[in-house]
Structure 1
Amino acid sequence: MPSLSPETRAQRWPLLLIVGSLVLLFVAALAANLLGIYLCGGIAGWQQWFDAHAPHFFVWRLCLYAALLAAWPWARRRRRRRDPDSARALRTLEVLSVGAIVFSEASQWLHVV
């Protein structure tokens, strides 16, 4: 196997960190769901618990959206300093992100009704 140059290793490090974090997050979510199913006595009990606590999860999502909204100007300024030509890409990212959040929340509300 050929040896990687230090530049190639430095370029791969953030990608490996992101992939590792996503795998860890997936495993933690899977473990939480399996534990919840076990503690609630089955999938029906787990679903009933979720339905009973839906308002709490809605408040949690609102807090998460507020934190993202508060951090976005900092991240946007930082990106614009590094790449002044990224305005269009950032606008596209903003529109797609807001659309994904709106559609996700709308699907939750339509599911409840």
Structure 2
Amino acid sequence: MSGEVEVKYKILSEHLIWVDETLIDELISFLEEKLGSDVVISRDRNFILIGLSKDQDLSKRTLKVYIKRFLHKYELLDRLRVISGDKDSYIIHKRRGIEVTRF
């Protein structure tokens, strides 16, 4: 990877942690597998930080699709949803009317 790495996207995963603490690590592994080894993914408490070098590009929509695929894989799409926080972030949030409980 050439160039300096900067944080491009943030994912707030507080509600995902409420379901199961290990799911955030599973999401990081899933994203590393899908996005490749050139992308730097780290965890900062409830946030997942995705870093890219200046010459790399990753669309926000692609990232959302991968997060939704992860939720579908773990059968969480009926309880959690992915919403846009701001220009460079997503929030994994519980669905309205659904109480998020641990497995």
By percentage of residues, which structure has more helix? 1
TM-score (ref. length: structure 1): 0.25
TM-score (ref. length: structure 2): 0.27
By percentage of residues, which structure has more strand? 2
Which has more radius of gyration?
1
